């Protein structure tokens, strides 16, 4: 049997589902209230995942899981402070992608991103080889940027470097340099949100979160390409068309570099880009041919002409999440890791907000991040009248499956899955398009 994915709505056959930390992970937390809440979150998260798996298996879907160690000691000493600074492999959609008959996934070295110093060093080396005086002056700017005392994050450092280069009149040189394959690849990699922390705990060589799926792919003769920095959360497959919702593109030059990379990887597809400022699967979702569910602020009319677009007001219900989102910003999305149990703000949050959280947020906030089983069945996190009315018109059955801690982990139904095989051949839905 061959395995492929051409469209998001074809009947699902094989699916990867993520996995959270086991409750034992939190055994080291000294504060008993914090520990009990985190253990509860771990248990309930896996319970919800099991409900999803049971539903998928009713549709004869083979389910694979990301791997996680049963030994709590495997999560210790992952950085210099001896604490874990990474989330579990809960959202395989972020770092895996099936396009046609080829599966894209990280190798074990994925996430060991080039630092800004390494990127700048590569550019510096290139500049020093040039006879052009401007290039050599540019090299001095680069040398300043790779100062070992520069502790700025790669993204911020590169943006500051860009600003300075434009001011100093070096940007034309940069445009040329960025287009050099090795350097372009380094910059793209440095600008791509690392998923290494989701796949392999930093400096922990004991296990790899994708071992199970890797073996299944090998056993079923599925071609695999490693370390191409692709993910299903920012990609929609619509037959001959690939739509990339781009994240962290710092300028038009780099955007074109991405497109060149994608054209090279997918020469038989039409490539489209859409800057949405976040993962594209959180802003829109093509449910079946002719039907899209999208946030009211996002326009995909050029990508999907004449398709019905059901709009969801992104502000509906979010007022009930103000405390939640405020805390999220305060802890910079980190939530909780070992070593944070003395963070009083976080303690207050888990004790008061989550501990007393009787009405879960999915009852008030409908999530665009849904998962299509086939053209007649869609898994959703909750109820939305406008969306459900559209489903009824199109003969679609919604299957509500609340992820009780979706906003705690920041991973919806589409995020925590990754489709590996769907039944059906590639269809050209827009044959009038030339590119």
Task: Give yes or no: residues 145 and 262 share one domain.
Answer: no
What pLDDT was estimated at residue 125? 63
At CB < 8 A and 24+ separation, what contacts does 179-184 make? 179/257, 179/260, 180/126, 182/122, 183/119, 183/122, 183/123, 183/126, 184/257, 184/260, 184/261
Q: Is it the case that residue 266 has pLDDT exceeding 90?
A: yes
What pLDDT was estimated at residue 216? 96
Q: Is it the case that residue 45 has pLDDT exceeding 60?
A: yes
What pLDDT was estimated at residue 152? 52
What mean pLDDT comes out for the span 387-408?
90
What pLDDT was estimated at residue 362? 44
What pLDDT was estimated at residue 404? 82
What mean pLDDT comes out for the span 407-426?
89
Query: In what order do the strands lie in the sheet containing 291-295?
Result: 284-288, 291-295, 308-312
Burial code of 234-252, b = ≥16 C-beta within 10 A, e = fewer? bbbbbbbbbbbbbbebebe
Asked, for residue 433, whether it belongs to a domain, the answer is no
Asked, for residue 4, whether it belongs to a domain, the answer is no
Asked, for residue 94, whether it belongs to a domain, the answer is yes
Higher pLDDT, 205 or 368: 368
Asked, for residue 431, whether it belongs to a domain, the answer is no
Q: Is it the case that residue 402 has pLDDT exceeding 80?
A: yes
Strand ranges in 221-368 using DSSP code E only, listed in sequence order:
224-226, 235-238, 241-246, 270-275, 284-288, 291-295, 308-312
The pLDDT tens digits for 231-261 are 888 889 999 999 887 644 445 556 676 777 8
Task: Give yes or no: residues 187 and 201 share one domain.
Answer: no
Ramachandran region, residue 290 (left: φ > 0; alpha: ψ -120 to 50; beta: rest) = left
What pLDDT was estimated at residue 1? 74
Q: Is it the case that residue 31 has pLDDT exceeding 90?
A: no
Helix (H) or strand (E) holding 64: strand 62-65
Instruction: Tell me which residue of 78, 110, 76 sits closest to 95, measured CA to CA.
Output: 110
Q: Is it the case that residue 363 has pLDDT exceeding 70?
A: no
Task: Give yes or no: residues 342 and 252 share one domain.
Answer: yes
Task: Give yes or no: residues 407 and 262 share one domain.
Answer: yes
Task: Give yes or no: residues 221 and 355 share one domain.
Answer: yes
Asked, for residue 230, whether it belongs to a domain, the answer is yes
What mean pLDDT comes out for the span 204-214?
74
Maximum Cα–Cα distance for the chain, whole Å?
Answer: 68
What mean pLDDT comes out for the span 198-212?
58
What pLDDT was estimated at residue 360? 47
Which tokens sit at 217? 């792919």
Taking each helix axis from N to C end, the angle separating 154-167 and 133-145, rounded to the nearest 10 degrees, works out to 150
Task: Give yes or no: residues 139 and 269 share one domain.
Answer: no
Question: Looking at the 3D structure of the chain, how many domains does it have?
Answer: 2
Task: Give residues with Cβ within 8 angstroms of 122, minimum separation 6.
Answer: 182, 183, 186
The mean pLDDT of the chain is: 75
pLDDT band at 317; cut points 50, 70, 90:
low
What pLDDT was estimated at residue 193? 39
Highest mean pLDDT of the ranges 27-41, 67-81, 92-106: 92-106
| CA 386 vs CA 203, 234, 294, 296, 298: distances in Å | 47, 25, 11, 12, 17
What pLDDT was estimated at residue 226? 82
pLDDT band at 352; cut points 50, 70, 90:
low
At CB < 8 A and 24+ separation, what contacts does 21-24 make? 21/68, 21/75, 21/88, 22/46, 22/68, 22/70, 22/72, 24/70, 24/72
What mean pLDDT comes out for the span 37-58?
93
Helix (H) or strand (E) holding 422: strand 417-422
Last residue of a domain, one of 132, 157, 191: 191
What mean pLDDT comes out for the span 214-243?
89
Q: Any bridge partners for residue 126, and if so which?
A: none
Last residue of a domain, one of 144, 161, 191: 191
Higher pLDDT, 343 or 146: 343
The pLDDT tens digits for 97-151 are 999 999 998 775 444 444 545 555 666 666 666 666 666 666 666 655 555 455 5
DSSP state for residue 86 in the 8-state scheme? S
Task: Give yes or no: residues 87 and 182 share one domain.
Answer: no
Asked, for residue 96, whether it belongs to a domain, the answer is yes
Task: Give yes or no: residues 103 and 183 share one domain.
Answer: no
The domain of 161 spans: 116-191
Q: In terms of C-beta density within 10 A (0-12 exposed, 13-18 middle, 19 or more buried), how is residue 190 classed?
A: buried
Higher pLDDT, 191 or 429: 429
Task: Give yes or no: residues 412 and 357 share one domain.
Answer: yes
Instruction: Tell me which residue of 324, 404, 325, 392 sits closest to 362, measured CA to CA.
Output: 404
Asked, for residue 427, whether it belongs to a domain, the answer is no
Task: Give yes or no: residues 95 and 25 share one domain.
Answer: yes
Q: Is it the case that residue 359 has pLDDT exceeding 60?
A: no
Q: Are 258 and 179 contacting, i.e. CB atoms less than 8 angstroms apart?
A: no
Higher pLDDT, 346 or 54: 54
* C-alpha–C-alpha distance, residues 169 and 132, integer Å: 14
Read off the CATH number of the domain in which 395 is found.
3.75.10.10
Share of the chain above pLDDT 70, in %: 60
User: What are φ and ψ of residue 327, in 5° steps?
Assistant: -65, -35
- What pTM was estimated for this model as a whole? 0.78
pLDDT band at 354; cut points 50, 70, 90:
low
* C-alpha–C-alpha distance, residues 383 and 400, integer Å: 7
DSSP 365-414: ---S--EEEETTEEEESS--HHHHHHHHHTT-EEEE---TTHHHHT--TT
Highest mean pLDDT of the ranges 33-47, 124-138, 201-215, 343-357: 33-47
Higher pLDDT, 180 or 433: 433
Task: Give yes or no: residues 24 and 152 share one domain.
Answer: no
Last residue of a domain, one of 191, 222, 249: 191
Q: Is it the case that residue 211 has pLDDT exceeding 60?
A: yes
């Amino acid at each position: 049997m061959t395995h492929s994915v051409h469209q998001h709505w074809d009947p699902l056959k094989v699916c990867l589902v993520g996995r959270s930390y086991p409750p034992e992970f939190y055994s080291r937390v000294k504060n008993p209230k914090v520990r009990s809440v985190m253990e509860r979150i771990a248990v309930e998260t896996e319970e919800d995942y099991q409900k999803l798996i049971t539903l998928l298996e009713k549709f004869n879907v083979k389910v694979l899981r990301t791997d996680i160690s049963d030994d709590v000691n495997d999560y210790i000493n992952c950085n210099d402070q001896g604490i874990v600074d990474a989330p579990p492999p809960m959202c395989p959609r972020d770092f895996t992608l099936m396009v046609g008959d080829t599966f894209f996934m990280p190798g074990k070295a994925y996430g060991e991103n080039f630092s800004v110093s390494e990127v700048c060093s590569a550019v510096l080396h290139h500049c020093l080889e040039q006879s052009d005086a401007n290039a050599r002056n540019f090299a001095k700017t680069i040398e300043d940027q790779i100062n070992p005392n520069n502790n700025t994050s790669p993204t911020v450092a590169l943006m500051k470097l860009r600003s300075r280069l434009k001011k100093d009149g070096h940007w034309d040189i940069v445009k040329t340099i960025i287009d050099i394959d090795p350097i372009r690849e380094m910059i793209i990699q440095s600008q791509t949100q690392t998923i290494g922390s989701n796949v392999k705990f930093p400096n922990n060589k004991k296990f790899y979160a994708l071992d199970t799926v890797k073996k299944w792919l090998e056993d079923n003769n599925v071609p695999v390409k490693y370390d191409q920095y692709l993910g299903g959360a920012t990609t929609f497959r619509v037959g001959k068309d690939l739509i990339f919702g781009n994240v962290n593109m710092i300028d038009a030059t780099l955007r074109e570099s991405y497109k060149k990379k994608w054209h090279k990887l997918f020469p038989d597809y039409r490539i489209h880009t859409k800057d949405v400022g976040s993962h594209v699967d959180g802003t829109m979702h093509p449910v079946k041919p002719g039907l899209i569910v999208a946030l009211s602020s996002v326009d995909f009319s050029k990508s999907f002409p004449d398709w019905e677009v059901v709009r969801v007001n992104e502000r509906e219900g979010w007022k009930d999440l103000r405390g939640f989102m405020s805390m999220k910003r305060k802890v910079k999305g980190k939530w909780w890791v070992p070593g944070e149990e003395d963070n009083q703000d976080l303690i207050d949050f888990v004790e008061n907000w989550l501990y007393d959280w009787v009405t879960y947020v999915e009852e008030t906030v409908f999530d665009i991040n849904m998962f299509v089983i086939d053209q007649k069945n869609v898994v959703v996190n909750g109820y939305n009248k406008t969306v459900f009315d559209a489903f009824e018109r199109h003969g679609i059955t919604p299957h509500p499956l609340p992820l009780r801690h979706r906003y705690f982990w920041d991973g919806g139904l589409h995020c925590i899955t990754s489709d590996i095989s769907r039944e059906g051949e590639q269809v050209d839905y827009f044959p009038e398009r030339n590119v």
